[in-house]
Structure 1
């Protein structure tokens, strides 16, 4: 890495001259691949499915950040990135779906790569990097990498490149870093004479095609893995905590414990004595630590394998990793040396069949590869981490920056940091393991590594680390939990017979234990009368399903429930049969029949089209049986039947003064509809066919469509006399902007009200923030999209017969509605709510931190926002207005949540500022002050209490 820093003024002038020379050179664009769409590799398929199921979040973002000290030529960096994306087609690939099957398609290379530069202090960089890394990719539009440069000073920058994991893995990142350095140097070099032509790299789509063609040669490997993993079960981590309300966000924690610098060398020497690598030794230590932590002997840990073999794949950028599930027997209290040999043999055996995709293994195993909640077999992984990859650019000194996106792919991961600062670490999902238990495990893993480095002859029982003390696993009927807690009961199940009484079943730990009457008396002493089973039956063994749960169908005395019938049940049976190859019994498990994530998506789409009822792939994976899927569809049909007949099912009538409302099925839209109905205004509501019944009411016509349908949007706008645009994708800003463009294009008369966001202000300098203040960088992608939509709307207002326009910027929207309750599942309120719900400490920024006297957020009651929005139909503001009901400090909000939830959480203050809590602005809201005036029940405490207790559809539960 270069360390010289040439004289800054002369160099900056020279770099400027080079940039101008580059700008004058014509750009030649290579064509997109002529081979057409390619199938997805198995590894890509998994990423695509997680994205479709809504589980991707930021888990599969790959941020690559480097702090660069020295002069940085941003134009040269942009040119290098442009060349890189041209060279590697996978970096400009989109992912679509045809006939239920995903495919990848190479897009034309961009003419130039955008590299935004944001001026910011180093202390604010972390929050900006995290926010950028957490921005969601739209795989259907393409996974083009994103670049961001933070400028801290004249010769001090941070460069962040963010990729989606579907397009890159660890070795690919090393290739990208090396080529970027070389391309940057070439771009910054004077003279028009081109250098030697770079060898064309292999392309990932060709690898995916070869893998697809070789699928029929995997039978032997599949048989091997199925036999090896038969009867294996996911690791049971002790001390589970309740999952957060947004289980898809998978918030992660990491605990790192430093090691003596001599430990890695000792571990390497230990491996040599046993014909093993240091990776194998660290993996054996992970098995030992997991054994000590869980008390289990039969363990499965996943490790990353690779498909990169031979010179033909050298320089390939793409996702070539594969999970290998290693099953190791830790029974008999072996020495660590003996365990190491078992792990070595298991790893060598796995390498023989490393080409078998993990997803195919799961499909072959079916329900046996999943827990009762559908979680896949591998919940724990292990790896050895070397020195991180750094972007090395000529004339600069680079330092790696870790950008944590706050999410974890697995419940628990062990890591040995093998660098000049060695350490043992664990990363974990907080929904699977609490912080205290994880801290003990991290320290124990590091101590175990040090202990076996010193004495590998120690038996597992002599190694550091023990399982945390925890109560019996929670869950199930209260009587079942109480029976399992009985010291003489090994297993228990409580079942409500269809149309019959509550029955309990128990397996005693040994003969001569309590009689059934004694166990029932035990339950009567601790439970309310309606929770006590009418009988307790003792069994020699509890019959179980393939996933290890109690099987009600085989419990004595439980009458068989009749098979569901009717058109929905028949559609479900046919759907299962068509996609899984056989007609299922009512209680057959989806996974046991060979189902997997893609099949779940396909089945949901098939049933949604056939029955016009809302259904997702996640619904299928959670319901799992034809009986349960049918019951779910029956419930949704009942909801639709109870609603008024959607006007989309009957001819629409033209009505003067009709207001089009987008987002009518959302929380804000529901309150806007309510306000319009109270004023007697005719409404045209935009909704998908399966959701039309949710908005049908007297005075409301329904038109089918959504934000991704520009033609439908134009038709809807053309049929209305006024527009209230309250819909938003939240995660796909490009769709939001395209939708606004289509609506403005069709807008020809009447007023237009756009529900925008205070995020459009970015990070303003003024305090408080006046309405229509200038927006300041950095803006989030969501905020930038809102600002772009506002500008598009306000430019068109008053032209071509159009009426006035109003952009109503709202903050967090609170209200007693199920969709608004999502505020408790993400962002700042979600962070605090979930911590209070779990009884974890609520850590808040102390006032005065970073020079800001106040930390908190503005909020608005949904009813007040609706009044403000509807008022703009009669009196447009012809610009931007804020809609704010009040401001609340994080401490006050935390105290409210703790009290309302009855939580034992402690509220702490610190000088650290979590990115989600880094908000300190007040917003003025004078233009709409009259309609925003609070009405009874719209104070902060009342609405927050209603949201905490709110059930589906806004009904209090």
Structure 2
């Protein structure tokens, strides 16, 4: 595998991982088999799948300020035995693993887990389809182009679209961390962490004559809820696939998270809001390959672009493993949360299943269940109902107060000489003549690799290694200088 530059989305995910994200970026998939399984054939098929898709054998390393995709020192594994928590290491590997476990007579479970750096939702369809074909001895699709070529072609398209994308997003984007729920307003955490889950939808809602897709119908319902909870102009980030015909067979991270803003009109109906959301989503889709941070800059690290997000995927057909019944858990929960609230939906032939994944540091389980009930209720009401008159089960329920995140402890001011030294480091790394003590690193054009370089320079000058989360909490010269001063005291440096 040649060394290739990582994509902007991979850089952002990598910095979150180094800061500590738990299981938030793990992508699990489980297949339960019933029948006389040919264990050696299935294990051989697993190995062939890993060999076939090069990115599953990758790791990510920084070299002179650039994040590179490299061949992992520790390759992905295929195991036969009890399931174990993944031991992923983004720098050295592995970032993918198969585990086959016997769960009863003629009953087995195959668990696949990959890091989101090398895998996305559409990759699940490719992996399961290839696995079934290789197990059965059927021919597989032609190999995908090398991932480096895919990223390079995407990078060229992004550069071409940047001017128009910058104009588009300047008129729409506003950064926010407020979350509106049945329990009130609270503030989301920027950091990924442990999560929880409640079932939200089971079965396809009927859009009737709305003139929108099922995805647009569901997205409108969530916007309507946030507006009813108190958000004047609700904003929800959505995962949009960046795949084209040339990447239809590529296993990798080919998705971009972008915001969709709704502006409900006073007295407006659900139908009118649905058309507005449809039109906005389709306008956003025109810039689906351009990361928001690339178009605007100044975005601080965060697990999710906005506190509330949606991923919606239409999966392929059920796999055919000869002589076996195979049940695929397409949306297996990873136990983590990247934002305050995430709706994960998978549409299959005639079915739709969706779950609300939420951050218990921000929302209560009671409020998450009420949001799920409200979502189901809104999807079942007449489309010409004014948004302000939609009947919500939560309006008659006793709700707990949403949980605000713990404020960071206030550190003592750093000595002037440390502030001065950190300022010089920032000026050198960012190539600026002047940086004020309260200016935000990301407003100054900093990014994930800037953080890596600043940490390395601070370690060299002060003998302390700062954790990544310092740049989540207070990404200013003063905030970093305070962290250096505290670390120096604790280390005796």
Distance 1:431 1:258, change over 3 A: same
Secondary structure of the equivalent of 2:180? Answer: coil
1:381 aligned to which of 302, 309, 315: 309
Contact 1:143-1:167 within 8 A present in 2 as well: no
Mapped partners of 1:351, 1:434: distance in 2: 33
Instruction: Provide the secondary structure at the position in 1 that maps to 2:179.
Output: coil
In structure 2, C-alpha distance between the alignment counterparts of 1:320 and 1:155, rounded to whole Å: 37
Q: Which residue of structure 1 aligns with residue 383 of structure 2?
A: 456
Matches within 5 A, 1:795-814: none
C-alpha separation in 1, matches of 2:272 and 2:152: 42
Cα contact 1:247–1:431 (8 A) shared by 2: no
Correspondence for 2:370 among 423, 437, 440: 440
Offset of residue 350 of structure 1: 0.4
Judge conservation of contact 1:298–1:331 (CA < 8 Å) in 2.
no
Alignment of 1:649-660 (within 5 A): none
Which residue in 2 is equivalent to 1:38? 4
Q: Secondary structure at the match of 2:134?
A: helix
1:117: which partner in 2? 81
Q: Which residue pairs with 2:34 in the alignment?
A: 69
User: Which residue does the alignment assign to 2:136?
Assistant: 185
Determine helix, strand or coil for the equivalent of 1:617.
coil
Change (3 A) 1:382 1:258: closer
Number of equivalent positions: 484
For residues 406 and 132 of structure 2, the distance between their equivalents in structure 1, rounded to whole angstroms, comes to: 57
Question: Does 1:297 find its partner at 2:297?
Answer: no
Asked if the contact 1:415–1:424 (Cα under 8 Å) also holds between the matched residues in 2, the reply is: yes
Q: 1:226/1:619 Cα in 2 relative to 1: closer, same or farther (>3 Å)?
A: same
Within 2, Cα distance between the matches of 1:88 and 1:306? 19
What is the rounded CA distance, in whole Å, between the counterparts of 2:356 and 2:163 in structure 1?
A: 35
Whether the 8 Å CA contact 2:304–2:339 is kept in 1: the answer is no
2:209 is the alignment partner of 1:270: yes
Would the aligned equivalents of 2:415 and 2:485 in 1 still touch at CA under 8 Å?
A: no
| CA distance in structure 2 between the aligned counterparts of 1:613 and 1:416, rounded to whole angstroms | 44
1:140 counterpart (91, 94, 105): 91
Specify the alignment match of 1:255 in structure 2.
Answer: 198
Distance of aligned partners of 1:84 and 1:603 in 2 relative to their CA distance in 1, 3 Å threshold:
same
Deviation at 1:318, TM superposition (A): 1.0
Q: Does 2:70 align with 1:105?
A: yes
- Name stretches of at least 5 consecutive residues in structure 1 with no aligned partner: 1-32, 119-127, 187-194, 478-494, 499-560, 642-692, 694-957
**Structure 2 residue aligned with 1:354:** 288
Q: Secondary structure at the match of 1:290?
A: helix
Equivalent residues in 2 for 1:44-443, closer than 5 Å: 44-55=10-21, 57-106=22-71, 114-118=78-82, 128=83, 132=84, 134-186=85-137, 199-231=142-174, 233-238=176-181, 239=183, 250-257=193-200, 264=205, 266-267=206-207, 269-271=208-210, 274=211, 276-293=212-229, 295-310=230-245, 312-361=246-295, 364-366=296-298, 377-384=305-312, 392-401=320-329, 403-415=332-344, 418=347, 422=352, 425-443=355-373
Q: Match for residue 629 of structure 1? A: 480
Whole-angstrom distance in 2 between the partners of 1:383 and 1:375: 14
Q: Which has the higher helix share?
A: 1
Aligned to 1:910: none
CA contact (8 A) 1:424 1:446 kept: no
Secondary structure of the 2:262 match is: strand
Write the mapping of 1:474-493 to structure 2, written as runs, cut at 5 A: none
Give 1:144 deviation, angstroms. 4.9
Structure 1 residues 324 and 623: alpha-carbon distance in aligned structure 2, compared to 1, 3 A threshold: closer
The equivalent of 2:431 in structure 1 is 581
CA distance in 2, matches of 1:632, 1:616: 9
Provide the secondary structure at the position in 2 that maps to 1:237: strand
- For residues 938-949 of structure 1, the aligned pairs below 5 Å read none
| CA positional deviation for 1:445 | 0.8
Q: 1:380-415: CA deviations, max 9, x gaps?
A: 112445568755422110112464331122211235
- Cα distance change, pair 84–249 in 1 and its aligned pair in 2 (3 A): same
Deviation per CA, 1:811-870, whole angstroms, max 9, x where unpaired?
Answer: xxxxxxxxxxxxxxxxxxxxxxxxxxxxxxxxxxxxxxxxxxxxxxxxxxxxxxxxxxxx
1:124-182 per-residue CA deviation (whole Å, 9 max, x = no partner) reads: xxxx5xxx3x4231122234521211113341111111111111112211111111111
CA distance in 2, matches of 1:613, 1:67: 48
Distance in 2, Cα, partners of 1:410 & 1:199: 37
- Relative distance call for 1:576 and 1:389 in structure 2 (3 A) is farther
* Cα deviations by residue, 1:687-716 (Å, 9 ceiling, x for unpaired): xxxxxx6xxxxxxxxxxxxxxxxxxxxxxx
Confirm or deny: 8 A CA contact 2:133 2:140 kept in the other structure.
no
Higher relative strand content: 2
CA shift in 2, pair 1:198/1:449, >3 Å: closer
3-state secondary structure, aligned to 1:448: helix
Q: Normalising by structure 1, what TM-score?
A: 0.47
Deviation at 1:617, TM superposition (A): 2.4
1:530-560 deviations in Å (ceiling 9; x for gaps): xxxxxxxxxxxxxxxxxxxxxxxxxxxxxxx
C-alpha spacing 1:392/1:115, structure 2 compared with 1 (3 Å): farther
**Hey, what's the Cα distance between the residues in 2 that align with 1:632 and 1:74?**
53
Deviation at 1:358, TM superposition (A): 3.3
Residues 156 and 425 of structure 1, relative CA distance in 2, 3 Å threshold: closer
Deviation at 1:565, TM superposition (A): 2.9
CA distance in 2, matches of 1:476, 1:440: 24
Conserved 8 A contact 1:411-1:433: yes
Contact 2:34–2:326 (Cα < 8 Å) also in 1: yes
Alignment partners' CA distance in 2, 1:179 and 1:204: 18
CA gap of 1:350–1:416, structure 2 versus 1, over 3 A, is same
Tell me how far apart the structure 1 counterparts of residues 64 and 114 of structure 2 sit (CA, whole Å).
28
Change in 2 beyond 3 A, CA 1:185/1:441: same
Is the Cα–Cα contact under 8 Å of residues 190 and 303 in structure 2 kept in the other structure? no
How much is the aligned-residue C-alpha RMSD, in angstroms?
3.5
Q: Within 1, Cα distance between the matches of 2:363 and 2:5? A: 37
Query: Does 2:441 match 1:590?
Result: yes
Alignment of 1:483-882 (within 5 A): 565-566=416-417, 568-582=418-432, 583-641=434-492
Contact conserved, 1:151 with 1:157, CA < 8 A, in 2? yes
Residue pair 1:569, 1:630 contacting (<8 A) in 2 also:
yes
Give the distance between the partners of 2:178 and 2:285, measured in 1 at CA. 22
| 1:250 to partner: Cα distance | 2.3
The structural deviation recorded for 1:605 is 2.0
Q: Does the residue aligned with 1:601 lie in a helix, a strand or coil?
A: helix
Partners of 2:178 and 2:404 lie apart in 1 by 16
Pick 1 or 2: higher relative contact order, CA cutoff 8 A, min separation 6: 2
Q: Is the 8 A contact 1:68 1:397 kept in 2?
A: yes
* CA distance in 2 between partners of 1:83 and 1:253 (Å): 34
